[in-house]
Structures are given as C-alpha cells and as structure tokens.
Amino acid sequence: MGKTLDVQLKCYHCGSECRDGDIAAGGKIFCCQGCRTVYEILEINDLSRYYALSASPGTSQKKISTKEKFEYLDHAEASAKLLDLTDGIVSVITLFIPQMHCSSCIWLLENLYKFNAGIQYSRVNFLQKKITIRFNESIISLKNVVELLTAIGYEPEINLSSTEKESEEDERNKKSRDKSIYYKTGVAGFCFGNIMLLSFPEYLSIVNNVDLFLKSIFSYLILLLSLPVFFYCSSDYFSSAVRALQKKMINIDFPISLGILALFGRSIYEILSSSGTGYMDSLSGLVFFLLLGRMFQDKTYDILNFERNYKSYFPAYAVIKNEEREQSIPLSALKVGDRIIIRNDELIPADSVLICGRANIDYSFVSGESAAVEIPEGSIIHAGGRQRGTALELEVIKKTSQSYITQLWNNSDFTKPDENKIAAFSILAGKYFTLAVLLTAGISGICWLNTGIAQALNVFTSVLIVACPCALALSAPFTLGSTLRIFGRSRFYLKNASVVEKLSGINHVVFDKTGTLTSLNERSIRFYGSDLSQEDNEAIKSVLHNSIHPLSRSILKLYPEVRLVETENFREYPGRGLEGKVQGRKIRLGSVSFVIGTEAGGVPSGNSSSVYVSIDDDIKGFFRAGNIYREGLKDLAGCLQNYEVSVLSGDYDGEKETLRDILGTKAKMFFRQSPYDKLSHIKKLQNQNKRTLMIGDGLNDAGALMKSDVGISISEEAVNFSPACDAILEAQEFGKLGEFLKFSKISMKIIYMNLAVSLLYNIAGVGFAVNNSLTPVISAILMPLSSITVVLLATAATNLAAKIKGLK
Amino acid sequence: MDKNKPAYSSDAGKTAGGGAAVQVETFSYDNQIVRSFALATIIWGVIGMLVGLIAAVQLFWPQLNLGIQYVSFGRIRPLHTNAVIFAFVGNAIFMGVYYSLQRLCRTRMYSDLLGKINFWGWQLIILSAVITFALGYITSKEYAELEWPIDIAIAVVWVIFGINLLGTLLKRREPHMYVAIWFYIATWVTVAILHIVNSFEIPVSLFKSYSLYAGVQDALVEWWYGHNAVAFFLTTPYLGLMYYFLPKAANRPIYSYRLSIIHFWSLIFIYIWAGPHHLLYTALPDWAQSLGTVFSIMLIAPSWGGMINGLLTLRGAWDKVREEPVLKFMVVAVTAYGMATFEGPMLALKNVNAALHYTDWIIAHVHIGALGWNGFLTFGILYWLIPKLYRTELFSRKLANVHFWIGTLGIVFVALSLYWAAVTQSLMWKQFTPLGVLQYPNFLETVLKIIPMYVIRAIGASAYFAGVIIMIVNLVKTMKKGHFQKDEMAEAPLVMHNGGEKGHRWLESRPVQFTIAAAVAILIGGIVEFIPTFLVKSNIPTIASVKPLTALEQQGRDIYQREGCNNCHSQMIRPFRSETQRYGKYSKAGEYVYDHPFLWGSKRTGPDLHREGGKYPDQWHYYHMQNPSSMSPGSIMPSYAWLYTQKIDIGQTASKISALRKIGVPYVAGYENVANEELARQALAIQKRLIANGIAVEADREIIAIIAYLQRLGTDIKVTQAMK
Amino acid sequence: MWVLIILMFFSLLVALIFLGAFIWAVKSGQYDDKYTPSVRILLDDDVRKSGVPDSHNSGRAEG
C-alpha cells in the first residue's frame, strides 16, 4: 500500500508513528510485529474492549525478549523465592509491572483469567504498579504466567532483589506497624468527638440540681471514653520517651508524656472525687492532633524505594552455555567457571574473563567513565558494565556478591551515620522545655503552699497540663510534612520529613560528573572537517542506516530529512568501522586506524569516541560525541555561591576546563575516583566537620551517597534504578536544586516562628495556671486553639513561601 | 488464522473440556427487582408530588378540598411528606442499592425471594399509609405519622432488606467493600435503631396509640429521629448512590477515594448526635440546644467533603457535562446538597433560628434538599439506568434537557418565593410600633400578606411536576424502544479474601458478622424491656396546677391530632416579647408533662394555640370551625363541616384513659368507669352555652369536644395567677 | 430528662458499632489500596461482543 510518508500513521496499539502501513490486522495499522501480535491475542480472547477504554493504551513492543529468557523461573529455587504463598497446587505471586499506566491496563490485567483457566484471579494495586495473581500450578506454571504477561505487553520487572524475599515475619510486622497508626487515630478521633460533645453541658455549667444526676452520668461516660485514649492511643509517646530516657536523653516526647500523664491523673482524681469535671477533652484532643501530625508527616511514595542496593540493579538470571545449548539459570545459581552469553545492551552479572567477541563495555553507570571501553579478549571485565555491540562469551571468575563493585556493600564504613540521631531541634526543645516547665511548676507550687496543700497540688498539675508542648510538637511535623509534599509536587521525592531538616544544615555540596552533571542518553555530536555536499550526506546516512551500533544510531539523528539511497556490499567490522558503496562511491566510516590505516598527523585527533569519514579514500573529517551538561547547571552554580562545591568523577579529566568555567574557580575537582576513593573523600570532608550533600546517580556513588549527611540520587525516570539514598530528584528538575536547598532553610525558619507562637500560648496558659484559675473550660479552649493555630500557621506559611518562591 | 500464529496462541490458554475445578463462575445479575423498584419510584414520585401540589394550592385556595374530610390539608400534608420520603426516595434507594450492590460485590443478591418480599411489603406499607392518613389515623409525629401496626410492618420489611444486604455482602466475590457499600450499611443500621426508638407507643385500639414519651421528652426523641431520618434516609444512602452512579455516568474515577473514606468515617462517628437544633428556644434545656447548634456547625465539614469530592470528579469533563443531561442533573443535585447542608447549620444558629423558626424558610430549606438533591439525583440515575436495563439509548436527550431546565426553574421559584414569604412574615410578627405595641396584632394580616408568594410557589411546584411528567413520557418511550434484560449475564473469578488465607470464605467472615449481629439483637431485646420502666417516672419539674385533660378534652385532643391541626398551628410560645405579647405567657416544660404525643408543631401557617383557652367565646369557635372566613375574613383555613355531623366515639374513652394511666398520666383510680358520664355532663354545659347564643347543636357532636379542648389549652397556668 | 440518657445511649451505641466496623475494615485490609477500587467500579460492564441478548449467550468455553 503506497502510503505517502507525510500522513502521520499512529500505531493502533501503542500510538507511536509507523513509517508505513504494511503491518496491519483487522483493518488497523501497527508500528511493529510485536504490537500486532498483542492485538491478535486480545482479539482471539474476546478482550478487544481493552482498546475501547482508552486510546492506544499499549506500550511499544519493538524489543521482543528472547524465548528462553524466563526459563530460569522453572528452577524450584528461583520460583520458591518469588512466590508469596503456595500450598503445592495453588500459589500466589506479586509482580512489579512498570508499564501499567491507564484503566485499560487495569482492566486487562484483572481479566487474566480469561486467557487461561489456570489463573484463578488477579488483582492490581495501581499506585504501587503491582499485580497479585493466584494460579493453579498443575495447569499453568509460573514461567507460563510470566510469559503470558510478556506476550500481552506487560513484562514484569524481576531483578535479583525480588528473588531474595525479606523474611516472612519482618514483612508482616512492617505491614501491621503502619496499620496501628490508623487504629490509634481512629479510636482517638472517635473518643475526642464524643468526649467533646459529652463535656458540652459542662462548658455551659448545668444550673439546677435536677441535672446533677445527668452530670455524673456524663462524667463517667467521659471517663470510660478516655481510657482507650490514654492506654492505647498515646502508648507510642510513652514508649519513645522511656527509650530516650534509657539512653539518658530527653526528647520531645518526654514533656508530651508528662503533659498527658498530668492531664489524665488530674482528671481521674477530679471525676472520681466528683470535685470537678476533669480535662479529658483536652487530653483526647491533644492525642488526636499529635497522631494526625504523625500521619501527615510520614507520607510515603508508593512506587519509590529508597533502600535499593546492587541487587535491584542486576538481572535475576544469566544465560549459560553447557554442551552447546543456551540455558537461563537464576543468578544465585551461577558458579565460578560457568560460560555465560551476554548480548547487546545486557549487563555483565559477575567479574569474568572475555573468551570471545568484541567487548565494547559502557561502565558509565558503574564506575563513572562516560565513554564505552573496548576490552581485548582474555582480559577481565568487571560486573555491572553494559555490552554495546555484538554478543560476547565470558567465563565467570567470581560470584556476583564478591565482584568488585558489590564489595562496597560489605565495607565497614558503609554504615549510615546512626539513624536515631533524632533531629537536633527536637532534642533541644525537649531538654530546655522540660526544664522550664518543671521549674515553673515547682516554684508556683511552693508559692501556693502556704494557702494549702490542695491548692499547691492544683497549681502544680495545672502548670504541667497547660504547658504541655503540644503546639511545639505539632509545628515540626506539619511544616516538614507540607515541605515534603511541595518538593514531591516538583518531582523531588524525600525519604522522610527529617531529610528536610538535614538539608537545611548543609554547607558542602559534592557532585558526581557522569550521569549527574552530564545527561547520559543525549550526546551532542558535531562534525569536524571540510563541509559535505548533499550527496555526501545521503551516502553517509544510507551506510549508517543498516548498522545497529549505538554510535551510528546517534549520528543518524543529525540527518532526519535526508533521503535514503540504495547501498551495495555493506560490511561491518565489529568495533572498528563500516564500509559500503553508494552510487559507485566507496564510503568508509570508523575509528582512526580503520579509516586512515595509521595515526596520520595533521588530522585533528578526537578522543576514542570520534568516528572518521572517508569518501573514495579522501578523508572528509570526523564526528565527535561530547557530553551535554544538564540545562540549568549554569544558574544552579550561581545559587551555590555560599556553598563549597567539589566534583568527584570516575572519568578522565578531559572536561576539566569546561567544568571550571561553569562551576567557577573555587570548585575543587577530583578525577579517576573509584567508589572507595569517593567514599573516603566524603569521610575526609566529614572529619573536617563539614555537613556534606552528595548528588550522584550510579552504583559507584552508592557508598558516597550512603555516607554523606544527605544523599540525593538523580534519575531520568522515577521508576528505574537509583542507589540507596535519602532523596530522589528527577533529572529535568536538576536546575532547581539550589531553590530546594534555600526552601529547606525557610521551612526551618517557619518551625522556629511556630515555636515562638506556641511559647506565647504556653505563657498565657501558665499565667492562668499560676494563679490557680485554670478551669476546664479555659483549658478546653486554650489547648485545641493553640494546636489548631500552629497547625494552620505551619501549613499555610509553608505553602505561601512555596508560592512566593515559585516552587508550587 | 493467518500463518504466523501469535507467539502465545490463545487456544493454548483455553483448557479443553474439564480440567481442575474452574474458579471462574458465571452468574447473572437480577435486574427484575431493580426495574420493579424503578417503576415504583416513578409512580409514587408522581403521586407524592401531585399531593404536594394539591396541598400547595390549598394553602391559598382552601376550597379546593371540596369539603371532603379525606383530602383536607391536615391529612394530605403528612401523606405528601411520607409519600415523597418513604415512597419516592425509599424506592429509589432500593433501586439504586439493588443495582449497585450486585455490581460492586460481583454476585447476585442473596435471595430473590427476600427481594420480592421487600418490594411488595414496602408497596403495601405505602398503600396502607395512603388509606390510614386519609382516614385520619395519624400519630402527629412528623415523618413517623404512621400508626403502630404499620410501624411494626416497616420494621419487619426493613429487617428483611437488611438480611438480603448482609447476605449479599457475605457471599461477595470482590473482597474490597467500595465506599458506597459502607454508606448503605450505615443507612440500614441507623434507620433500624431510629425507627424502633421513635415508635414506642402504647396501642389503644387497632388504629390508635399514645406515644410512650411525654411533652419535652417526646419532642426530643421525635426530632432526634426527625433529623436523623433526614440524615440517614435522605442523605447517607444518596451519598452512597452518588459515589457509585456519578463516576459511572461520567466514566471517571471519583476525585479522591481517600477523601471519601475520611468523609464516611468522620461523618458516621458523631453524626447521630444531631437533633436538638430543631428545638431551639423551646422548652428544651439550653445546654442541649447549644449542643445542637455546635454539632450542626461541625457537620458542614463532612457534608462539604462529600460535595467537593463529587463535583471535582467532573473536573476536566465539563464539556461532557454540557451535553450529557444525566451529568447535568447530578451536578445540580450535588450543588443543592452543598447548599442545603450549609443552610442547615446557619439555621441552627440561635439568633437566625429565633427569626426563622416556624416560618416558610424551613420549608424552602427542606425543598432545596428534597427537590434538588434527592429529586435530581434520582432523575439522573433513572435517565442513566433505564436505557441500560433496556439495552438501548434514551428516547430523546432534548426532552431530558427540557425536563432539566423546567425542574431547575421549579426549584428556584419554590425556594425564592418561600424565602421571600418567610422574611416578610417573620418581620411582621416581630414589628413593634414606637408605643411598644405589636404593629400587626392580628395574625391574619401576616398571612394575607404572603398569599401571592404561595401562588408563585405553587407555580414553581407545577413546573417541577410538569418536568416529572416529561421524564415519564421520555422513559416510557425508551422502554418501548428497547427490550428488557431480566438477568444480565456476568462472569467473575472466585476471589479469596486477601491472598490464599486458609479456611473457607464463609467461615472466615462468619464469626465477625455473628458477634455484631448477636450483640445488636441482645441490645434491642434489652431496650424494649427496660425502656418503659425508665420513662414512666419523668423528672421534669411538674407545675402543681397542671392537671390531666378531662375525658371530653382528651377526645377533642385526639380529633385535633386526627385533623392534623399541628401541621399549621404550633403549641409552643417562645420566650420572645413579640410572642408573649401576641399569645400570652411563654410555654414552660412543666405544662406538657401529660401530653402524649407532644403537639408543638413545626410551622405557624396559623397562629400559636397554646394560650387559646378562654381567648374567644365558644360560639366564636363554633362559627369559625364551620367557616373560618366568616370569623376572620380571607382566612386560608379550610372548613371542617364533618365535625358538626360526626359523633364523638365514646366507646373508646375507657380504654384511652387506662392506656394513658399506664404511661404515667395520674388519672384518679376508677376514673375510666365514670369518664363517659363526666364527658356527657361537660358536653351538656357547652351545649347550653351555645344554645344561649342561638346555636342549635347536639351535645354528642365532635365540634363540642374540639371546643372543650381549645378552651382548656394553656389555662392551667392562669389558674395559679388567679389563686395568688 | 431520662430520655436524654436513652438517646445518648443509642447514639453512642450506634457510634460504637461503627467504631468496631472501622477496626474490622482496617484489619481486613479494606484500605490497603486507596486508589484502584475507584477505577475498578468503572470496568465491570462487559458488553458482549456478539451483542446478542444474554439470556442465551454464545458458547463461551464453559470449561
């Protein structure tokens, strides 16, 4: 079908443009064979509603994975680890499916049982992009389930970490831990609502005695409702205060527990001796707001995982060659001496020796060298590099867990600086506040001693009650919680709220070069040499067109509109160059030695990644690929004036000058840094008690990221791999890093402002308490009022500041 | 198929023949019950609204009842409220629940038989309501006017619906219970308890009973029920329907599912506290009144949470809302819900309430909620559901749009005219001349002033009614065009509760449901016993001079209740100068101690009657009841000619007296034996006075009893004044 | 004002029932997934391809 190129054809399955309309089925056009296959499978199983729910819902199927890719799942050992539950016949598995993005995906993935009766049911959790499938092993094996998912375009991502399940028990208590916060808040909310309504008559002080009986019923009901609040809902605060005390430290939870204890004790005494109505509504209100603060603060991102290590970077399987048959086995079963086959764009799972094949290894992600390295046969290739080019055969010399890069993880000073160093602010507040409160309570108690022991006790407990730091303890969670959300909205995801506080204390910023300052996949290619005519361009493009080498792919991008011409006797010398005849003219492209034969002088030399061009043996010039620096780097450098800046790179120092004029002369540069050098550099900085912020992206930065006070990892797309860190920043927001740092300082200022406001309330409260006129009504108004003002002030101020700073 | 078979051929997926027990079950949804409820909704909707329209017209043209006692305003107003609430909205709830519950649980209803019993039982109850109201068997407790046998029937049918609901939940194939299901459960549980608590009555005969509570206590229980009936019968189930049908009609997920969960639980934990805001400035203790006010203000948050969640579901699809009539109906419904739930709390503020209580503003507030929220959401659901049940397109979208615009205009006219009338009347009631005397002492002047607004309201109501007729035409044509699908086939995998937990699904959920059900059963059983003993001894400060009514006056009170006089006349004078000057001393809690049921009323179309005793001579009442405009020219009160022909039913006097004594009214021992002689003596005295003024009347006519009751109203207080 | 106690008792009773229901709901994992249910309700109307009225649906693999 002679369709002209200009009409934009959209693939019915995945919506990408298709060059020509020859791949079609059922009157619909597809961009590739893969998409067409998926369409046909759905058509046969009467699931074509998939396309009705949303327009072109699929993802492009250009890269079809090889048939035996999932063979390793047949190994009992691998599948046992992957399955959630199994009773021999029926088993349940949860898989991570990144391609899930719309309601059609949900619909299709929940109708898997229509494909095969063996699948009993499948349920999707859209936010976490996970699917839980229960299937009958006697009818359909785990391998078939995964192959079915791949066949319909939803290949699950299975890596080494998913095959090593955390132990059953700590997964369960992780789930139950975050549920207990729901129970506590629910019960606290229930009791607070009802106690407040029950204590309403008390606010309006029932006058005549007829209702005295009613008043006692209300008091006992209030007492009953406050028991769960005291014994269940506020148990966290008591336990954390006791834990801190055991370590001879007073944290913010200590005065809170003191306040709750005083409130409860005083109220119990008053109700039972019916000499008052007690402060149960202030107590339940306080606990309810504190719990709300905690829920608001530990907002988690469903898809992101901040504790990734090398295991989630390596694949779960390796293809080994025994007796001339290729077979895929789980990575954990890989032994020293096995022969493994690595294809283009696949990862080398373990340190091994190259047996045969042209190795062109891209180590940028692992060791930081940006250019691909050509490694001759017989030499050692480290685990973690990606092969760019034809298939290789290697022999394993070390198991994955002992390979060079993964040694980092069992390095002694890899441990994170002790996590329970609770944010400085809360210790400071805890200690001084408690001191102040106990002092005022004691003194005012003594002053009232001469009028009577009862009044003295009254005053003592009133001071403890009203001076409880509820407002103080609420300003941090709500401010930091809102900052967390504001950063999240501009695609800067923090692990938890205390990271904001650490960010504000940073004074030294350390950058990694490859992948952080420079962007990995776009490479700027320019042609150096005499200018080329139109036919020359056509000839070059036609020759390059039929080579799959990544370099030729990126050069092709320079000629989008140029016409394609017929090329005869095209030959590709892997790792050296290409050769072809176009309209009778001989074109040669490739490395220096291939195109010119010798290191000819006079021709401008590029580094190893430049591609020379000769037409009929006349050298025209060469294409050189340079790194592009992330946009926004210039003004970021501007913002970081008052920070010390240093760059650690695993690469050569070729880019030293360009970096110097961007980052300014003050920046210190270190090149050829191994992961250990980076780790020790951060340790050195910390010894000069510098507060370091490390920004990196690759595995080689994992050590430095872990060690530095705050580790931010850059990732092109939030879902794919980023090493263990405190925050994930999406690549396109790199320019805003300066603003984020400044904003974290602002939020600390907002916390201190709230501190002042809550101190004002406390002073007013203590004023009442000291002259023994703290009636329940006043406390019932003062306590919620102070908490609500601080909460509103914290959230409003943070959001307002974000709007002003343009972060919203 | 073509040669290059897809890499993963589909037939490999299909097991040939048997294979292990296939976990996929095919079943069918029952649409039959849904359609019957839908038809009932439409029919009862038309009847309820027609009765409403007639009542509206009677308010400015009393002669419309053609002198027939069965259609006089006092009797058709309760018929209108019960028909619209329990018949129209009730059937709509059952339609929506039966349709959505099956889809949400991916299973057929628990039992078709229970569904049918639920349907026919409910329609029979409505029919019995129409008959008993026309005959005057009314308990006068608003939205619970049905007599005790029908109350029991309602409880039985409601429990059957509950069993069907719970059974379907237990055998659901979808472990997650969507938020709408939680709203349905909340509706069932609370309405069950509300109805039972508010229906404690001592039966006197098959169609007569006296409420167990008295006076102020009866008022509190009635309005605790009244508000929560509105809350849990008109709002919670409709929020459930909104959370299901709005996303389905817009084909977009609800704006924030998390907000809907918070909205539900925050609403349900404290919602049941509402009620006292209906009794502001009455004889209720003031802390209870303030409690009602504070609580109503707190209600704005959850209600508006629901509204925002509903409206924001449509963000980004507003162009779809422009052409799609179903979405237009739903948007106006949700907005009306937001307005009504904001207006309610404002009305609960004491100063606002002081001005607007007993005026037409309350009626406007009710109709924004009813016509806007319940009406429009029901129409939206019908326009979406009927075409789906008949597997065809709506007959004409243009007609649906016409209905939408006429309906909206109707609501606007009804609401605005009543707002206008309320403000006018309230200001006139409270207007003082510079000399400190009421500017409009004669109540009639304030009524005549607002008759034009009643006319506009009637016009608005007929516009809304016309819209409903247009809808019926549209839906009937749609039904004719399509073919009804009795059982809709469906297929769903058998889903175990969260993962491969051991144990059969039934067993796993049974202990939880059983414990709750058992607890509730024991509690209700216990309550039924210990309530009477508790309540008889009420500790309201009794006023020495307040004595129980005589037999004749009690018969007169029952006629007052039968004719529904409390729909237009209140018996509660509030402690405001404008009211004490117009009516007399303000009413104290102690005066109502023996009133079973309380007759405070909630609307003053006519003047307050609590101090009516001795205000006018007997013959004034005689002529007034015969032809109101003779005594007060232009009055819109209908005439009660049948009171002059019907005899007082003295056969029941004895059983009435003994029943009242059982619930705490201190009649002298043995009074029931002499009751009829004393009744006859008092009647003769009244007859003699009337004859002296030239009126020939038999002593046993009902008018005599009414006159006796009216002349006794509020006189117990005056006795103490005289003695002092 | 005995009735106040009765009403309060019932109000608290209903509220307690729903507190129990809340705890059961959270425990039985109703709120583990806070987004997908809102989309799942939209996905259930299976329009049969054949469009033939369903009472005698075309031979699906009964299996």
Give the tokens for residue A441: 């309570």
Lowest mean pLDDT among B121-125, B166-170, B215-219, B343-347: B215-219
Compare CB distances from A117 to B10, B15, B286 and report the shortest one's residue.
B15
- Residue A362's identity, in one-letter code, is D
Whether the CB-CB separation of C19 and C25 falls below 8 Å is answered with no
Amino acid occupying residue A598: T
Residue B686's pLDDT is: 93
Residue A58 pLDDT exceeds 90: no
Quote the minimal CA–CA distance from B154 to chain C in Å.
Answer: 20
Does the pLDDT at position B105 exceed 70? yes
Q: What is the pLDDT of residue B389?
A: 93
Instruction: Output the six-digit token pair for A37.
Output: 């296959």
Closest by CA to B319, choosing from B367, B268, B252, is B252
Q: What is the pLDDT of residues A486-524, one digit of tens each?
A: 888 888 888 888 888 888 888 888 888 877 887 766 667
Contacts of B12 in chain A (CB under 8 A): 116
Judge: C49–A182 Cβ closer than 8 Å, yes or no: no
Cβ of C11 and B273 within 8 Å?
yes
Query: Can you give the pLDDT at residue A166?
Result: 57
A74-101, pLDDT tens digit by residue?
A: 877 777 778 888 887 888 888 888 888 8
Q: Which two tokens stand for residue B173?
A: 């194939």
* CB-based contact, C14 to chain A, within 8 Å: no
The radius of gyration of chain A's CA atoms, rounded to the nearest angstrom, is: 33
Would you put residue A672 in left (φ > 0), alpha (ψ -120 to 50) or beta?
Answer: left
B644 touches chain A (CB under 8 A): no
Q: Copy the structure tokens of residue B702.
A: 């009902």
Task: Assess B521–C contact: CB distance below 8 Å, yes or no.
Answer: no
Looking at A657-661, A750-754, B686-690, which range is the least confident one? A657-661
Give the pLDDT score at C59: 34
Phi, psi of B601 (to 5 degrees): 75, 165
Chains that touch A (3 or more CB pairs under 8 A): B, C
Q: Write out chain B residues lying below 8 Å of C28, CB-based.
A: 175, 497-498
The chain A residue lying nearest C39, using CA atoms, is: A103
Residue type at A661 in one-letter notation = D
Mean pLDDT, rounded, for B351-370: 92
Q: What is the pLDDT of residues B253-269, one digit of tens each?
A: 999 998 998 889 888 87
Lowest-pLDDT choice from A356-360, B115-119, B190-194? A356-360
Identify whether the C-beta of residue A9 lies closer than 8 Å to the C-beta of residue A1: no
- Among A35-39, B643-647, B713-717, C45-49, which stretch is predicted with the lowest mean pLDDT? C45-49
Distance in Å, alpha carbon of C53 to nearest chain A alpha carbon: 17
Q: Encode pLDDT of A618-656 as tens digits.
A: 888 887 766 777 777 888 888 888 888 888 887 777 777
C-alpha dist (Å) from residue B35 to B100, B116, B390, B406, B574: 13, 12, 10, 26, 49
- Say whether residue A139 is in contact with chain B using an 8 A CB cutoff: yes
- Residue A139 confidence (pLDDT) above 70: yes
DSSP string spanning B362-412?
HHHHHHIIIIIIIIHHHHHHHHHHHHHHTTS--S-HHHHHHHHHHHHHHHH
Q: Could you give the ipTM of this predicted complex?
A: 0.82
Return all residues near B220 (Cβ < 8 A) that are at least 6 apart: B213, B275, B276, B279, B284, B288, C3, C4, C7
The Cα B158–Cα B188 span in angstroms is: 8
pLDDT at A601: 46
The answer on pLDDT for B221 being more than 60 is: yes
Average pLDDT of chain A? 80
A110–C43 C-beta distance less than 8 A: yes
Among all residues of chain A, which has the CA nearest to that of B285? Answer: A206
Instruction: Report chain A residues whose CB lies below 8 A from the CB of C31.
Output: 182
Which DSSP letter does residue A562 get? P
Determine the pLDDT at residue B403.
96
Confidence check: pLDDT of C50 > 50: no
Provide the token pair at A501: 């506080």
Does the beta carbon of A46 lie under 8 angstroms from any beta carbon of chain C? yes
Q: Pick from A106, A110, A183: which is nearest to C26 by CB? A: A183
How high is the pLDDT of residue C61? Answer: 33
pLDDT at B473 over 90: yes
Which of A593-602, B273-282, B650-659 ranks highest by mean pLDDT? B650-659
Are B714 and B584 within 8 A, CB to CB? yes
Instruction: Map B402-418 to HEC letters.
Output: HHHHHHHHHHHHHHHHH
Segment B37-65 shows an average pLDDT of 95
Contact check, Cβ <8 Å, A126/C8: no
Contact status of A84 with chain C (Cβ, < 8 Å):
no
Record the pTM: 0.85
Q: Is the pLDDT higher at A575 or at B247?
A: B247
| pLDDT at A230 (0 to 100) | 92
Q: Which of A209-223, B258-272, B610-624, B704-718 has the lowest mean pLDDT?
A: A209-223
Nearest Cβ partner for A37 among B7, B22, B265: B7
Q: Taking CB atoms and an 8 Å cutoff, what residues of chain B touch C27?
A: none
Span B517-542, average pLDDT: 57
Residue of B10, B291, B537 to mutate, interface with A, max A Cβ within 10 Å: B10
Return the closest-CA partner of residue B145 out of B601, B525, B586, B488.
B601
- Overall size of chain A counted in residues: 808
Name the DSSP class of A700.
G
Which residue of chain B comes nearest to A45, CA vs CA? B10
A339 membership: H or E segment, kind and range: strand A339-342
Surface-to-core class of residue B502, CB atoms within 10 Å of its CB (0-12 exposed, 13-18 middle, 19+ buried): exposed
Quote the distance between the C-alpha of residue A736 and its chain's center.
18
CA pair distance B289, B302, nearest whole angstrom:
21
Is residue A422 predicted with pLDDT exceeding 60? no
Q: Which residues pair with A362 in a beta bridge?
A: A386
Strands A710-715 and A692-696, sheet pairing? parallel
Coil, helix or strand for A762? helix
A144-181, pLDDT tens digit by residue? Answer: 888 888 888 888 888 777 766 655 555 666 666 678 88
Helices B397-430 and B360-367: angle between axes, nearest 10 degrees: 160
Interface partners of B (3+ CB pairs, < 8 Å)?
A: A, C
Q: pLDDT-derived band of residue B724, with 50, 70 and 90 as boundaries?
A: very low
Give A487→chain C minimum CA distance, Å. Answer: 22
Which of A431 and B688 is assigned the larger pLDDT?
B688
Nearest to B628 by CA among B78, B135, B63: B63
Distance from CA of C59 to the nearest CA of A (A): 12
Provide the pLDDT confidence category of residue B19 given band limits of 50, 70 and 90.
Answer: very low
pLDDT of residue B408: 96
Work out the pLDDT band at B1, boundaries 50, 70, 90.
Answer: very low
Q: Is the pLDDT of residue B684 over 90?
A: yes
Taking CA atoms, what residue in C is nearest to B198? Answer: C7
CB distance from B387 to chain C under 8 Å? no
| Calpha distance B595→B569 (Å, rounded) | 16
Q: Give A367-377 pLDDT, tens digit per residue.
A: 767 667 778 88
Residue B443 vs residues A80, B63, B440, B619: alpha-carbon distances, Å? 87, 21, 7, 20
* pLDDT value for A415: 59
For residue A157, give how far its alpha carbon lies from the nearest alpha carbon of chain B (Å).
Answer: 19
Do strands A386-387 and A359-362 pair parallel, antiparallel, or not at all (unpaired)? antiparallel
> How is the beta sheet containing A130-136 ordered, strand by strand?
A83-86, A90-96, A130-136, A119-125
Cα B156 from Cα B144, distance rounded (Å): 16
Say if residue A324's pLDDT is above 80.
Answer: no
> What is the structure's pLDDT at A426?
66
Report whether pLDDT(B697) > 80: yes
Per-residue pLDDT tens over the stretch B283-309 = 667 777 777 788 888 888 888 999 999
Please give the Cα distance from A383 to A722 (Å, whole number): 17
Report chain C's terminal Cα–Cα distance, integer Å.
67
pLDDT of residue B499: 37
Q: Residue A442 phi/psi, 5° resolution?
A: -60, -55
**Does the structure show a pLDDT above 80 at A310?**
no
**pLDDT band for position A208 (cuts 50, 70, 90):** low
Residue B586 contacts by C-beta under 8 Å, 6 or more apart in sequence? B573, B574, B575, B576, B579, B580
At residue A657, what is the residue type?
E
